[in-house]
Amino acid sequence: MQTADFLVELGTEELPPKSLKGLAEAFLAGVEKGLQDAGLGYQAARYYAAPRRLAVLVTALATQQPDRSQQMDGPPVQAAFDAEGQPTQAALGFARKCGVSIEQLDRSGPKLRFVQSIPGQPAAELLPALVDTALAALPIPKRMRWAARKTEFVRPTQWLVMLLGDQVIPAEILAQQAGHTSRGHRFHHPEAIRISTPASYAENLRGAYVIADFAERRELIRRRVAELAATQQGTAIVPEALLDEVTALVEWPVPLVCSFEERFLEVPQEALISTMQDNQKYFCLLDAQGKLLPRFITVANIESQDPAQIVSGNEKVVRPRLTDAEFFFKQDKKAPLEQRNQRLANVVFQAQLGSVFDKAQRVSSLAASIAGAIGGDAQRAARAGLLSKCDLATEMVGEFPELQGIAGYYYALHDGEPEDVALALNEQYMPRGAGAELPGTLTGAAVALADKLDTLVGIFGIGMLPTGSKDPYALRRAALGVLRILIEKRLELDLSSTLQTAVAQYADKVKADTLLSQVLEFIFDRLRARYEDEGIDVAVYQAVRALNPVSPLDFDQRVQAVQLFRRLPEADALAAANKRVSNILAKAEGQVGQQVDSGLLQEGAEQALAQAIDQAEQANAPLAASRDYQRSLEQLASLREPIDAFFDQVLVNADDLAVRANRYALLARLRSLFLGVADISLLG
């Protein structure tokens, strides 16, 4: 089979930088799907992407589509012909569908069949439509038109290269005629350049000051930024999304170090970093202590003979933005943070649930209650809760919404609030996402829990439950945040009691009938999803859930113990025995003795089981007190032999009612031992 390399490059005006990588990946996926659907084999395929181009290079592409056969089955032969052997309407209809005569149909099998041989087409004839389809399927939220054309694309197109080997594939796609001609760097090499072969594409462009390989440009920027940061005795902050965006903005990256006045360092560094990253696409520098340096790195798209001019220009551009941040910070500090609550009393949290200030008051009260339960300072938690939303009314957060909580921390310190109270104003929003940082202080944990539980109770209480993918109040994230804080920070909290307090605070603003059970179920359902992600069997979750623990930490400790118990060789037999005991006791309602009478233990096996249960109860008492569930289940595993012997040798439903009730009582004691950890009968 003959093969040749294939290249398609679509030249455009500057593409959206945040979308460039996604567009390139989707273009590659579309081309590969088209090749596979067409049966065109190839060795490898990759994409290139730069501000003014999207390209796909396919190595060793088959130049000819293979011949293939198409088989169509028709009606059964018996139904296709009548008694005289004449074709029925079913047979005639099938022949018309296939475009052939009755004689050309195969009737050797149980059904009429038509097998058609389809000769393969040259790849050069298939590729234009294939590329056009791939481009049409790109994830472009809003397409644009240009000039008088009706053609639509994410940006106006400028040129098109389509080569199979060294030959141009004649085609017109998105108003461009295919050719050999591409364009180089807009300033360094504005002239047209000829792409001689697909394999020479990257090097042809490199000679025209374009690094077409997105990954290569990205790594070059990362490496050079790190090197420049080291010359300034600093470390660059390089978020992956920002690196992708900067890579999509330049064809010939030239990183340069710039500076700003040190006086701006009096402003919270998060505000300075935010504006430099989000608005200017700069990489900020930190010293060894994590403090912002008065330096930043910009990535130019030109190799200037006078780079000082570029540096000076960027320093002039960033100064007004830093000045704005400085102004907001100074203005906000003129009034105590607490005064902002006056404004928040007129800001709606939710129409049925009151103002943001109302929420802050509820959070304050609930945080104090939680802090007392988890070993924190109730007074400081109440103070942090009262101040928790104040920074939402500041100029700084108005300009930089992403600084909510962070701005509050700085203003609280300025007002002389205790360190943990100030930290709690930021920690209330933690964790900010999956796997994100948790509150570091007990005060912060109390406020974070109070804020999330208050939202859950309030929104559930007015019937605005999340459905499908819609969760406007991020209730799922709030529930997961509650679970992570309590479990990972090993904080003991009676969730049922805490939620009762939260419900009571809303008074008649919420429908309280089944609210507590609804919210508890929702939170523990999120725990079930978490365990599934961790590979813990749902039966383990259900075995613990059957006991309805109200503390997520206690719940998790039981789940981890049961998960380890399942690996023991005795686990399956004990689960089955517990299931048998559960069924027996369910049917024996009202017949179970109050306690085991040793005088009624007639069989040796039941006497042995009673003795084993006595020993297990004594051994388990300290383990249960310390909630050492793992050791408890390991110890209970030793009951397997006496349990097996009991069921082999003892008739539970004895004719003597007293003996029967006594045996039921013995089994009830056995079951209660295991129920001290989980209902392991559900593991079977």
Asked if residue 230 and residue 196 are part of one domain, the reply reads no
CATH number, position 130: 3.30.70
Q: What is the DSSP letter of 198?
A: G
Q: Using CA atoms, how far apart are residues 189 and 395, in angstroms rounded to an integer?
A: 46
Residue 343 resides in a domain: no
Q: How many domains does the chain have?
A: 5
- pLDDT confidence of residue 684: 66
Asked if residue 151 and residue 32 are part of one domain, the reply reads yes
Asked if residue 226 and residue 200 are part of one domain, the reply reads no
Residue 548 resides in a domain: no
Asked if residue 313 and residue 196 are part of one domain, the reply reads no
pTM: 0.80
> Could you report the per-residue pLDDT of 350-359, keeping only the tens digit for each?
999 999 999 9
| Contact status, residue 10 vs residue 157, Cβ threshold 8 Å | yes
Q: Which of 179, 206, 233 is the last residue of a domain?
A: 206
CATH number, position 359: 1.10.3210
Cα 403 off chain centre by: 22
Cis ω on the peptide bond leading into residue 431 (within 30° of 0)? Answer: yes
Nearest Cα to Cα of residue 528 among 516, 504, 544, 547: 544
| Contact status, residue 340 vs residue 393, Cβ threshold 8 Å | yes
* Token pair recorded at residue 278: 């989000």
Asked if residue 519 and residue 373 are part of one domain, the reply reads yes
- pLDDT confidence of residue 311: 96
Q: Which of 155, 182, 206 is the last residue of a domain?
A: 206
Asked if residue 398 and residue 378 are part of one domain, the reply reads yes
DSSP conformation letters of 277-317: HHTT-PEEEE-TTSPEEEEEEEEESS--S-HHHHHHHHHHH
One-letter amino acid at 563 equals Q
Q: Which of 332, 364, 399 is the last residue of a domain?
A: 332
Nearest Cα to Cα of residue 405 among 546, 271, 294: 271
Backbone angles phi, psi at 515, to 5 degrees: -65, -45
Asked if residue 199 and residue 230 are part of one domain, the reply reads no
CATH number, position 591: 1.10.730.10
At 6, which helix (H) or strand (E)? strand 3-12
Q: Mapping DSSP to helix (H, G, I), strand (E, B) and coil, where does residue 377 land?
A: coil
3-state helix, strand, coil in the chain (%, to 5): 55, 15, 30
> Could you report the per-residue pLDDT of 568-578, keeping only the tens digit for each?
888 888 888 88
Residue 371 resides in a domain: yes
- pLDDT confidence of residue 108: 80
Q: Using CA atoms, how far apart are residues 674 and 77, in angstroms rounded to an integer?
A: 67
Residue 107 resides in a domain: yes
Asked if residue 164 and residue 97 are part of one domain, the reply reads no
Backbone angles phi, psi at 590, to 5 degrees: 90, -5
Q: Using CA atoms, how far apart are residues 424 and 371, in angstroms rounded to an integer?
A: 12
Asked if residue 613 and residue 485 are part of one domain, the reply reads no
Residue 661 resides in a domain: yes
Asked if residue 300 and residue 183 are part of one domain, the reply reads no
Q: Using CA atoms, how far apart are residues 671 and 220, in angstroms rounded to an integer?
A: 65
Residue 653 resides in a domain: yes
Backbone angles phi, psi at 642, to 5 degrees: -65, -30
Residue 544 resides in a domain: no
pLDDT under 50 in the chain at which residues?
A: none
Asked if residue 300 and residue 171 are part of one domain, the reply reads no
Q: Using CA atoms, how far apart are residues 430 and 438, in angstroms rounded to an integer?
A: 5
**Cβ-count burial 38-62 (b if 16+ within 10 Å, e if not):** bebebeebebbbbbbbbbbbbebbb
How many Cβ atoms from other residues are within 10 Å of residue 625's Cβ?
8
Backbone angles phi, psi at 151, to 5 degrees: -60, 140
- pLDDT confidence of residue 252: 97
Asked if residue 181 and residue 226 are part of one domain, the reply reads no
- pLDDT confidence of residue 496: 94
Task: Residue 615: give the domain boundaries.
Answer: 568-683
One-letter amino acid at 268 equals P
Residue 560 resides in a domain: no
